[in-house]
Amino acid sequence: MNNEQQELLDEAYKNYSIVAGMSTQVESLKKEEFINKCKTDTEFSERWGLKIEERELSRDERIDLYCKEYTGGVKNNYEPPFDNFIDAKLTTRNIPTKLITITYNDKTIESYE
């Protein structure tokens, strides 16, 4: 996650912690537990206004990222000689495999890993 996403997570957890500290009705969770619960429990996530989505990028999405970075963004002009070639390029150039989207207080930030 990038710094901007981390700041959103910190803000959401801080607000959650204040409420959890003042209420016997709210389960007190550590930050990592809070984040994991937001990832896996839709109702909990909606209650605290923090949405965290992680998904694997498809091969085509990774090729698009590669093309933006190394071929001037022109995918149509890029025809890899064979599948193993492009797979090796995606790996050696450390093209991300995952998209992480965090939304909190109507602010959405995407990053790639």
Is 12 in the same domain as 45? Answer: yes
Instruction: Read off the pLDDT of residues 89-102 as tens digits, 9 standing for 90 and up.
Output: 899 999 999 999 99
* H helices present in 23-82, as ranges: 31-40, 42-48, 59-70
Question: DSSP class of residue 57?
Answer: P
CA distance 27 to 90: 43
- For the stretch 42-56, pLDDT in tens is 999 999 999 999 999
Among 109, 61, 60, 69, residue whose Cα is nearest residue 92: 69
pTM of the model: 0.82
Say yes or no: 7 and 26 in one domain: yes
The number of folded domains in the chain is 2
- Domain of residue 68 covers 58-95
pLDDT digits (tens, 9 = 90+) for 62-113: 988 988 887 776 665 556 666 788 888 899 999 999 999 999 999 999 999 9
- Residue 11 shares a structural domain with residue 50: yes
